[in-house]
Amino acid sequence: MKKVIFISSSGGHLSELMQLKELFEDYDYHIVTEKTESTEKLKEKYDKKIDYLLFGARNYIFVYFFKFIYNIIKSLIIYLKIWNHPTNRPFNFEIWVGSLKAVDTSGSPLQYLL
């Protein structure tokens, strides 16, 4: 079964992403989004299938810079955690960003979902 990471920011992008939840059953999936009051309740439903990044508004540019660096590092850790899971098979992994595109890490070209 292909492993897929569904990634989006909170708010409208996450709402659009959650409209794809029927696809979750077809894949060994993981969800990554920003941690806000509205997204914390998703942990109850998706438990170990969801991880959070820091919410960072760009109106506080100095603080945003450090949150951005933190989110880059945490994203890499999340990716490696999922990639190194014992059930993984090489070249059987896709990353879905928002609800617009998919990148197959096996080297296949960019695939658009919508």
From the first residue on, what is the mean pLDDT of each consecutive set of 10 residues in the chain (114 residues)?
A: 85 90 87 91 90 86 90 89 63 43 45 39
CA atoms within 13 A on the CB side of 111: 11
Tokens for 106, please give them. Answer: 């096996």
Residue 87's pLDDT is what?
55
Residue type, 69: I
Q: Which residues on neighbouring strands pair with residue 52, listed in sequence order?
A: 33
Residue type, 26: D
The Cα–Cα gap between 28 and 39 comes to 21
Residue 74's pLDDT is what?
92
Residue 86's pLDDT is what?
57
